Amino acid sequence: MASSLRISRLLSRSFLSASTTTPLFSRGGSGALGAGLSKFSTAAAIEEPIKPPLKVEHTQLLIDGKFVDAATGKTFPTLDPRTGDVISHVAEGDHEDVDRAVAAARKAFDRGPWPKMTAYERQRILLRAADLFEKHNDDLAALETWDNGKPYEQSAQIEIPMLVRLFRYYAGWADKIHGLTVPADGPYHVQTLHEPIGVAGQIIPWNFPLVMFAWKVGPALACGNTIVLKTAEQTPLSALYASKLLHEAGLPPGVLNIISGFGPTAGAAIASHMDIDKLAFTGSTETGKIVLELAARSNLKPVTLELGGKSPFIVCEDADVDEAVELAHFALFFNQGQCCCAGSRTFVHERVYDEFIEKAKARALKRAVGDPFKGGIEQGPQIDSEQFQKILKYIRSGVESGATLETGGDRFGNSGFYIQPTVFSNVKDDMLIAKEEIFGPVQSILKFKDLDDVIQRANNTHYGLAAGVFTKNINTANTLTRALRAGTVWVNCFDTFDAAIPFGGYKMSGQGREKGEYSLKNYLQVKAVVTSLKNPAWL
């Protein structure tokens, strides 16, 4: 893969017609899939789901280098979003398990070997782990798709390679973290040390389980920290598999501990633990507030938060409408719309608005929806019943508030958590579908008249995670990129994620940055060391 891994390289294009594609995996005991998929139909949803060609082996907690049962012995089911059927039962971690994991991480940090290991050796372990991730690409991708519902092509061709790239990127940083020698007014030698912060508590979401795993674990390990990480209860499987590979690469016991469980129990125990030195959370803004409060009430541990968004995608009057429609479609519908930075408010200039609406509707109708293990599928099911019902509720709200439902608006098929690609026009700024994070395949298209108008409206939100600008005019692009209050602004592209590009939000979209050099600061303490000099030759 090239060093800059762009999601849009694969998914911003239209997939081949599903009727001409073949399944990536065969169903258990059967051969070809049979009849092809009719796009935006129920054909795929009523077919027997394709059976992934792997066995789920790791369902226990990972504590101190060993897979163990929860202290209570409890388990919970993780479900296949294509059907709602149980994939496997996973250990349900609680506060006692968090205590055990923190104790292991504390020991591994205070007594070594991880922070006492040379940076070069830490680098070699992270590089070996990346090689193992690459070797097991297909199994990791199949597990991710099975547990999450995202297209297998997306998992295998984008997200696992991105996992590999991120670990190699942070491995490269491991032996390049250093402080400074600082001049002082007097006979003193002053140096700064950049030290690992200690035990990091990390809580990751369900929409990009392995990518978020890399965003959190990579920089923390490169800086010499130890970790207690809680997976999302909807998608616990892939992080356990990846962690096994990390230990195969030589990661010492206790350095990385994985707790599967629920937010109010395991998540709260991590956020409020007195022996965790730093906390990182990705998820909803509402939960982020709770996490921040728990951290403050305990030991005032520093917190980085990557939270929700309601990102504007602005199509200017000079836009090539066909290209703008395709990119706006990708910006919203990618990953079933389950992206914190999705371009979920599509602002279109009044001069091209009507043409854009017709073409956006046609593009949504062509979207290939179905079993994510089948080749050519662009959209799989939503993550679970709760998210499925939430999205349908927002769709009803859009209709009731007077927006025009151009296409979609209902479930797709008769089983699983599939939703039709949905497009609304004539959306107003005060409608819920224009204000709140839907986290689903629902495109809301709003009309604007000039730059002053769209800047004011785009910024009129509690969020500030990302924005997209589509224009041929460099002056327009420069005006918008500086005026939009968002942590990332993509110009004539969207969802371009490189390991070196920082990511994070303004306002209620979070605090701190992930990825790139900026993320290392989250996991380091800065110490000033001042030593008196006697008769120095120079100052």
Three-class SS of 159-189: HHHHHHHHHHHHHHHHHHCCCCEECCCCCEE
pLDDT confidence of residue 16? 33
Taking 90 as the threshold, does the pLDDT of residue 43 lie above it? no
Q: What percent of the chain has pLDDT over 70?
A: 91
Confidence band for 505, pLDDT divided at 50, 70 and 90: very high
Q: Determine, yes or no, domain membership for 338.
A: yes
Average pLDDT of the segment spanning 111-115:
93
**Cβ pair 203, 282 in contact under 8 A:** yes
Same domain (yes/no): 163, 208: yes
Taking 90 as the threshold, does the pLDDT of residue 46 lie above it? no
Q: Determine, yes or no, domain membership for 51.
A: no
Same domain (yes/no): 191, 248: yes
Same domain (yes/no): 98, 219: yes
Please tell me what DSSP assigns to residue 288: H
Q: Determine, yes or no, domain membership for 455.
A: yes
Q: Determine, yes or no, domain membership for 295.
A: yes
Number of domains in the chain: 2
Task: For 441-495, write each residue's pLDDT tens digit.
Answer: 999 999 999 999 999 999 999 999 999 999 999 999 999 999 999 999 999 999 9
Average pLDDT of the segment spanning 224-251:
98
| Residue recorded with tokens 């205070």 | 110
Taking 60 as the threshold, does the pLDDT of residue 265 lie above it? yes
pLDDT confidence of residue 35? 31
Average pLDDT of the segment spanning 288-316:
98
Q: Determine, yes or no, domain membership for 494.
A: yes
Confidence band for 112, pLDDT divided at 50, 70 and 90: confident
Nearest to 508 by CA among 311, 306, 314: 306
Confidence band for 27, pLDDT divided at 50, 70 and 90: very low
AA letter at 424 = F
- Which of the residues are catalytic? 306
Nearest to 381 by CA among 395, 368, 371, 390: 371
Q: Which two tokens stand for residue 444?
A: 């809301």
Task: Give the DSSP H/E element, type plus range, for residue 109.
Answer: helix 95-110
Confidence band for 47, pLDDT divided at 50, 70 and 90: confident
Distance between CA 280 and CA 268 in Å, rounded? 13
Q: Which residues contact 316 (CB under 8 A, 6 or more apart)?
A: 349, 469, 470, 471, 472, 473, 476
Taking 70 as the threshold, does the pLDDT of residue 39 lie above it? no
Same domain (yes/no): 157, 82: yes
> pTM of the full predicted structure?
0.92
Least confident piece of the model among 8-12, 191-195, 322-326: 8-12
Q: Determine, yes or no, domain membership for 420.
A: yes
CATH classification at residue 356: 3.40.309.10
pLDDT confidence of residue 40? 53
Nearest to 48 by CA among 34, 62, 67: 34
Average pLDDT of the segment spanning 169-184:
97
Q: What percent of the chain has pLDDT over 90?
A: 91
Q: At what angle do helices 209-222 and 119-135 cross, to 10 degrees?
A: 160
Residue 427, domain extent? 312-498
Taking 80 as the threshold, does the pLDDT of residue 29 lie above it? no
Q: Where are the beta strands (DSSP E) in 263-341?
A: 278-282, 303-306, 312-315
Q: Determine, yes or no, domain membership for 56.
A: no
Average pLDDT of the segment spanning 157-186:
97
Residue 20, SS3 per DSSP: helix
**Strand order in 404-407's β-sheet?**
404-407, 422-425, 442-448, 345-349, 312-315, 466-470, 488-491
Taking 50 as the threshold, does the pLDDT of residue 342 lie above it? yes
Same domain (yes/no): 303, 320: no
Same domain (yes/no): 428, 294: no
**Cβ pair 234, 206 in contact under 8 A:** yes
Where do runs of H (alpha helix) occur along 298-341?
A: 321-333
**Cβ pair 75, 91 in contact under 8 A:** yes
Nearest to 148 by CA among 438, 312, 379: 379
Same domain (yes/no): 303, 324: no
Q: Which two tokens stand for residue 170?
A: 């942070």
Task: For 115-157, write each residue's pLDDT tens digit.
Answer: 999 999 999 999 999 999 999 999 999 999 999 999 999 999 9
Same domain (yes/no): 342, 389: yes
Same domain (yes/no): 257, 384: no
Confidence band for 21, pLDDT divided at 50, 70 and 90: very low
Distance between CA 358 and CA 76 in Å, rounded? 45
Q: Which two tokens stand for residue 312?
A: 């504007």
**Strand order in 226-231's β-sheet?**
66-68, 61-63, 256-260, 226-231, 199-203, 278-282, 303-306, 510-511
How crowded is residue 259: how many other Cβ atoms within 10 Å of its Cβ? 29
Same domain (yes/no): 316, 241: no
Average model confidence (pLDDT) across the chain: 92
CATH classification at residue 131: 3.40.605.10
Same domain (yes/no): 284, 326: no
Task: For 50-78, write each residue's pLDDT tens digit.
Answer: 999 899 999 999 999 999 999 999 999 99
Taking 90 as the threshold, does the pLDDT of residue 260 lie above it? yes
Average pLDDT of the segment spanning 258-267:
98
Taking 80 as the threshold, does the pLDDT of residue 14 lie above it? no
Q: Determine, yes or no, domain membership for 45.
A: no
Same domain (yes/no): 454, 336: yes
**Cβ pair 122, 222 in contact under 8 A:** yes
Task: Give the DSSP H/E element, type plus range, for residue 61.
Answer: strand 61-63
